[in-house]
Amino acid sequence: MRTDPRELHGSTQDLIVVGAGIQGAAIARDAAARGLRVVLVDARDLAAGTSSRSSRLVHGGLRYLKQGHLALVREALQERERLLRSCPHLVRPLPMLMPFFREGGVSPLAMRVGTALYARLAGHSTLPRPRRLDADAAVAAFPGLRRQGLRHAIEFFDAATQDTRLTLANVLAAAAAGAKIVTHCAVVGGGGDGLYLVDALTDIETIVRARHVVNATGPRADALRAALHAAGEPLVRQSRGSHLVLPPRAGETALAAFLPDGRIQFVVPHQDGTLCGTTDVDDELAGDEGAPPAADVDYLLDSLRFLMDPAPAAADVRFAYAGWRSLPAGKGPPGALNREAFVVDEDIASGRLHTIVGGKLTTHRSLAERVVRRIFDLREASPTRGQSLPGGDGPREVTEPLWWRHGSRAALVRDLVDEEPAWRQPLCPHRPFLAAELVHALRHDGAVTFADTMLRRLVHSQGPCLEESCLLAAHALFLRERQWPVDDDPALARAELRLEVEAMTGDLDVLRAHAAAVTAAHT
């Protein structure tokens, strides 16, 4: 899937999209589906930043109703419904429980009105309408919910997803429509002759021309603007959202609970781990994303102690990560800023730069449609409105684990098993993936490096298995099937994967020890 950037040297495209996160992938998909010549470029892998570090929810944003953003909520709910249909293997209905405690946090009456409005804005949704549960029924719906002080709860529905795979699906759709996908290739500048790209695999510079460039780099938007000599004040404010992953829990019901400080916290069950978050803290992203700081871990564990009984302990944390949101530059707490995305147009030497500010995972498709229509002055509705994402067509094999990871594209994995029966075996005893799925990641899903493969193709809520023997076996198969001459040295490739995981999670042993000490001091 990856195009060698040397093949594009001196070419003229209709659109270059910089940033292969969910927004950039969706814009490339929309433009390519309309027959435009498109290049999607990223300095790292697809979904290497914010789009692999979200709360993994496809939702309307119930809390945005409090801020009066009805249009944003309506659009998100419409897109939620579209995603439930177009990629059912990646977006699944999620019952959510909003508990109300005597300690307060939010008005139950306001939330009853809010959830009713939420359901009304969703229109003819396939999801059930909200209902009130008494305290006993709420605890039965979410075992482990704190019963002391619990008044009652509201059950409503949203949807859960796997953000990295949803981004990949958009990239695959863009590539199938003709877009050129160039990962591990940085935009280092631009001039009248085009954008200057440097391939991380070869260190060779390539120049590609396009009248329009979309800046979909999220929290790095101002850094790209500076590299392309765009004038003007900074557009983006950066906010850090941290998450913890606990062991899997029984049941499908999630928590969406307002805390006494007014923030909302999610506890979302996935088959391979329970996702808890998030924070909303101003934090300037100077380089690559880092790990959740100890203060965020303390806050999240404190939130879980408020919500659950028995409360999860620091020792229960299996994985952690932090994502940086792109918010409009402005004053006030980050949680109160409008999340509705907008576009800023500027002239640069090579043409016109269109910078995306803000945006939500849920509304990636509708944002892409607006952006492409605006840039190219189009009136026609996007063909993506009625298209399934790759893997989203065909029968729903809900009892088949491969279907939940690949949808109808599981047939490609089965073909690999027919080609090499040994690939039917598990890649590792600690994760659910077949050896064939690693081969599939390299042949069909655009993985370039060993870390791409293990972190962002064989996606697991608790991260990749880092057992030495498992990594040795996986790397041997990687060397046999890789599409690009990278990561030859097994020891170095394993070390780089471990470094990337630690950069994402931090030192979990240190974080656990710190959190346990804080807990002990408070008891």
Q: What is the mean pLDDT of residues 86-111?
A: 93
In CATH terms, the fold of domain 91-160+237-329 is: D-Amino Acid Oxidase; Chain A, domain 2 (3.30.9)
Please name the helix (run of DSSP H) or strand (run of DSSP E) that holds residue 291, with its range, or none. Answer: none
- Nearest alpha-carbon partner for 90 in 499, 342, 393: 393
pLDDT (0 to 100) of residue 340: 79
How far apart (Å, rounded) are the C-alpha atoms in residues 326 and 329? 9
The model's pTM: 0.96
Q: 3-class DSSP state for residue 219?
A: helix
Peptide bond into 183 cis (omega under 30): no
Domain boundaries, the chain: 5-50+164-235+338-385, 91-160+237-329, 401-487
Could you read off the pLDDT of 478-493 as tens digits, one per residue? 999 999 999 999 999 9
Residue 272: pLDDT over 90: yes
pLDDT band at 49 (very low <50, low <70, confident <90, very high): very high
Q: What are 364-382's pLDDT values in tens digits?
A: 999 999 999 999 999 999 9
Looking at CATH, the fold of the domain delimited by 5-50+164-235+338-385 is given as: FAD/NAD(P)-binding domain (3.50.50)
**CA–CA gap between residue 272 and residue 460 (Å, rounded):** 7
Q: What is the pLDDT of residue 204?
A: 98
DSSP 8-state code for residue 462:
T
DSSP 437: H
Longest dimension (CA), the chain: 68
* Percent of the residues in the chain that have a pLDDT greater than 70, as a whole number: 98
DSSP secondary structure, 254-290, as one string: EEEEE-TTS-EEEEEEETTEEEEE---EE----SS--
Given a cut of 80, whether residue 334 has pLDDT beyond it is no
How confident is the model at residue 336, as a pLDDT?
A: 52
Angle between helices 22-33 and 163-176 (to 10 degrees): 20
Query: 11-35: string of b/e by CB count within 10 Å (b at 16+)?
Result: eebbbbbbbbbbbbbbbbbbbbbbe
Give dist(CA 151, CA 1) in Å, integer: 53
For the stretch 182-221, pLDDT in tens is: 999 999 999 999 999 999 999 999 999 999 999 999 999 9
Note the pLDDT of residue 339. 64
Lowest-confidence region among 58-72, 363-377, 460-474: 58-72
Can you spell out the DSSP letters for 369-390? HHHHHHHHT--SPPGGGSPPPT
- Give the three-class secondary structure for 522: helix
CA 484 to chain centre: 26
